[in-house]
Amino acid sequence: MFCTIANTHRGRNLVPPSVSFFGIVGRTLSQGEITLASAGPFDRPLIDPRYLSDPEDLERHIESVQWNHEVASDPIFRDLGSEIVGPGQDRNAIITNTRKLASTTWHQTSTCRMGVDERAVVGPDLRVHGIDGLRVIDASIFPTITSGNTNAPTMMVAEKGADLALGRTASDRDHTA
């Protein structure tokens, strides 16, 4: 769950002062799909995120919205003249509103996961199975999405990938700093 506060700090009046409560289903069970639109290398792939397609993800999301509504309904906020915006507590209204507005937090991962089984796209050395000279060094190799922001783990993958590409070990890097 998150709580954000918007105000007119430093003369910026971008939004009216407000408090927002929201939640994110962190370790989703829903899985999207990426397919090729054509054989052309410059054609964008077809992406179907399949948001909340797993019933458990939808239930967790509904619970999050209902809990946030309960917190926002506390008299302390009402006494400040606040207004609750959103679908309220009604399950069907939450689902309808969510299907209309669902988005991503731009932390897509796990599209060509690392592993040692036959379904893995890259191995522990970050090399693509079956293609010489090609490594994948980004968040797409994560076997599953992290619970938090993907920035730090992606930087760790990049450090490891740089070491592998340059033939360095971790101790080599420690001594060059």
Catalytic residues: 107
Cα–Cα distance for residue pair 143/153, rounded to 1 Å: 12
Give the number of other CB atoms < 10 A from CB of residue 168. Answer: 14
DSSP 88: T
64-77 core/surface letters (b: 16 or more CB in 10 A; e: else): bbbebbeebeeeee
